[in-house]
Amino acid sequence: MTLIKSISGIRGTVGGEAGDNLTPSDIVRFTVGYSRWLLRQVSGRRPVVAVGRDARLSGEMVYSLVEGTLMGCGVDVIDLGLCTTPGVEMAVTAKAADGGIIITASHNPRQWNALKLLNARGEFLSDADGREVLRLADAPDFAYPDVDALGCVIERSSFGDEHIDRVLALPLVDAEAVRKRGFRVTVDAVNSVGGIVIPRLLERMGVEVERLNCEPTGDFAHNPEPIAANLSQVMEAVRRNGSDMGIVVDPDVDRLAFVCEDGELFGEEYTLVAVADYVLSATPGDTVSNLSSTRALRDVTERHGGHYAASAVGEVNVVAKMKETGAVIGGEGNGGVIYPALHYGRDALVGVALLLTSLARSGKRMTELRSGYPQYYMAKDKITLRPGMDVAKILSGMKDAYSGERITDTDGVKIDFPEGWVHMRSSNTEPIIRIYSESRDPEEARRLAARFAGEIERLAGAR
């Protein structure tokens, strides 16, 4: 059982012993820490926090504890109920809240949940602010307000329709062109909130929707991470339904993957590439993705005359780099599209709408679109952390061993070779070392990942 505190929030497995897992006492403790941090940001009035959750089985329990604790700390609550991560992010600014909490463990399996913490801009807390929340969660000197100063729920509402309205109002989204194309789409929403908003968005755009795992029961039909190993059901459904494409989202709808009309995967890494290609064709500019993302985005950006920059992994880091460079589109290679014209957050809804518009205006099918991009192949491996493993020492050993190659160490260690690259880093969301590699040859990508997994194990054994 596990409890992880990082830039991606407070994340853990539900149940077990306090302090080592996401238990009721841990949920209260970290919510108090966030409330204390928020009270320092606001003076002269009660802070307001927007709270939403995905549909996972523990969501209602965690939600109740978070809402009650916020009120007990003198914070008012906007109750968004079942809501996507990008929906909560947008609701913070739309409703002039001072912060937000999203109760979701994103792509993690059903036993996990998490508190994702937002600032007044509807963006994830910086590393410094996150560390302060953790410090305040453990600091004893806090006097809770009396009964006359308790917070309250000031609004209970859904943000799904407003989110969809804002997506459809974007100049680069052409619902009429999509409607004329007459698409049929199969949607796999892994029994969470995507099953509510994605079909609704598609129907507003005139798309015929075939639903798969769209009931928001929280009892996930398969492992919720939208990667090839988990998507055989939707791939077969696209073929069986004769769909023009498949759309897959994770439980909180900030990651997006596509299936081509032949039932083969478009490639999660190419979600951002395809959306960026369309955006750059209309609004030339620069792009950003993280160090673990495909080189194809760099190639497409340069083809449009723009500049590409890489950030450390994590949405907050990508957003910071996008603001620094003025990027018009960015995100992460795990299917996370960030389109600043809407908001600075990974958003599957805007990714869907922009991709469908691109297809409708070009007249292409998904396989045609995919074949037009540089062909890179990525392999992903991981090493589960064991007691005594010194990740910093292991990664330092890698830098020493490959000092003659091009090294980037802003987030773990990335080694660029002429034939590809490998990136090794501690996960923000699981107790593992992630190993990503990429090459123009799929076998070479797999060899690179396996080779460095072996080298990590060798260095770990040499402690």
Q: Show the domains of the chain with their CATH numbers.
A: 3-158 (3.40.120.10), 165-371 (3.40.120.10), 377-461 (3.30.310.50)
Question: Could you give the CA distance from residue 247 to residue 230 in angstroms, rounded to a whole number?
Answer: 13
pTM > 0.95: yes or no: no
pLDDT band at 1; cut points 50, 70, 90 = low
Residues 6+ apart with CB under 8 A from 38: 47, 49, 75, 98, 99
Residue 398 has pLDDT above 60, yes or no: yes
| pLDDT score of 361 more than 60 | yes
What is the DSSP secondary structure assignment for residue 164, as one 8-state letter?
A: H
Distance, in Å, from the CA atom of 365 to the CA atom of 186, rounded to the nearest integer, reads 15
**Predicted confidence band of residue 227 (pLDDT cuts 50, 70, 90):** confident
Over residues 308-328, the mean pLDDT reads: 96
Which of 186-195, 421-430, 452-461 has the highest average model confidence (pLDDT)? Answer: 186-195
Token pair for 298 = 């760099």
pLDDT tens-digit map of 148-178: 999 999 999 999 999 999 999 999 999 999 9
292 Cβ neighbours under 8 A, 6+ residues apart: 313, 332, 333, 423, 425, 434, 436
The mean predicted confidence, pLDDT, of the chain is 95
Output DSSP code: residue 133. Answer: H
Count of CB atoms situated within 10 Å of the CB of 320: 18
Tell me the CA distances in angstroms from 215 to 188, 199, 200, one per residue in order: 10, 11, 13
Instruction: With a cut of 80, say whether residue 386 has pLDDT above it.
Output: yes
**C-alpha to C-alpha distance for 365 and 381, rounded to whole angstroms:** 32
pLDDT at 463 over 60: no
Residue 106 a catalytic site member: yes
Confidence of residue 462 (pLDDT cuts 50, 70, 90): low
What are the pLDDT digits (tens) for 410-433?
A: 999 999 998 899 999 998 778 899
CA distance 66 to 242: 44
Measuring CA to CA, which residue among 43, 97, 103 is closest to residue 69?
Answer: 103
What is the tens place of the pLDDT at every residue in 12-23? 999 999 988 999
- Cβ–Cβ under 8 Å, residues 55 and 81: no
Rounded to the nearest 5°, which phi and psi values hold at 311? -120, 170
pLDDT surpasses 70 at 454: yes
The whole-number pLDDT of residue 430 equals: 80
Whole-number Å distance between alpha carbons of 77 and 70: 7
User: What is the predicted pLDDT for the residue at 280?
Assistant: 98
Catalytic residue among 8, 58, 106, 192: 106
Residue 316 backbone phi and psi in degrees, to 5:
-60, -35
pLDDT beyond 90 at 3: no
- The CA distance from 8 to 303, in Å, is 33
Three-class DSSP category at 135: helix
Rounded Cα distance between 105 and 260, Å, is 28
Residues of the chain above pLDDT 90, percent: 90
**H or E segment to which residue 381 belongs:** strand 377-384
